């Protein structure tokens, strides 16, 4: 493999590398071999091996990209938790309003203009 990192083609990023199929990986390996004027990598092996070869040759850090993706995933989960917390907070407030209305023996309506009567269609 190369001791010095070579500039990868514009289309080759860590993200595109991880999503590439075997044919695309073989294409990039062929480009690297042609640019070097000799065979610097082989095209045989499983997809994970080809990822590693290309990443090593071009100096791409697959582990750092995986860590960044995991951090983004954790941030997304945190945002989802914020949404859930907001929704359950609203539901809790609604429950308190219902409980208060029930304790005072008042009719509880979700919105103005609604009534306690069901407007569903009766099925025979």
pLDDT digits (tens, 9 = 90+) for 65-94: 555 555 555 555 666 777 777 788 888 888
What is the distance in angstroms between the CA of the first residue and the CA of the last residue of the chain?
A: 78
- H-helix or E-strand containing 70? helix 62-103
**pLDDT tens-place values along the chain, 124 residues long:** 444 568 888 888 888 888 888 888 999 999 999 999 999 999 998 989 998 999 999 888 888 755 555 555 555 566 677 777 778 888 888 888 889 989 999 888 777 666 655 555 444 4
Residue 32 · residue 40 · CB < 8 Å: yes
Task: Report d(CA 120, CA 13) in Å as an integer.
Answer: 56
Polymer length of the chain: 124
Measured CA to CA, the distance from residue 55 to residue 72 in angstroms comes to: 22
């Amino acid at each position: 493999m190369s001791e010095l990192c070579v500039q990868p083609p514009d289309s080759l990023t860590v993200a595109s590398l991880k999503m590439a199929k075997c044919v695309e990986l073989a294409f990039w390996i062929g480009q690297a071999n042609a640019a070097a004027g000799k065979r610097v990598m082989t095209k045989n092996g499983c997809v994970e091996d080809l990822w590693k070869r290309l990443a090593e040759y071009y100096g791409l850090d697959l582990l750092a990209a995986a860590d960044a993706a995991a951090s983004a995933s954790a941030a997304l989960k945190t945002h989802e938790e914020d949404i859930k917390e907001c929704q359950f907070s609203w539901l809790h407030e609604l429950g308190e309003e219902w409980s208060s209305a029930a304790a005072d023996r008042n009719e509880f309506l979700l919105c103005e203009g609604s009534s306690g009567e069901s407007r569903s269609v009766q099925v025979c």
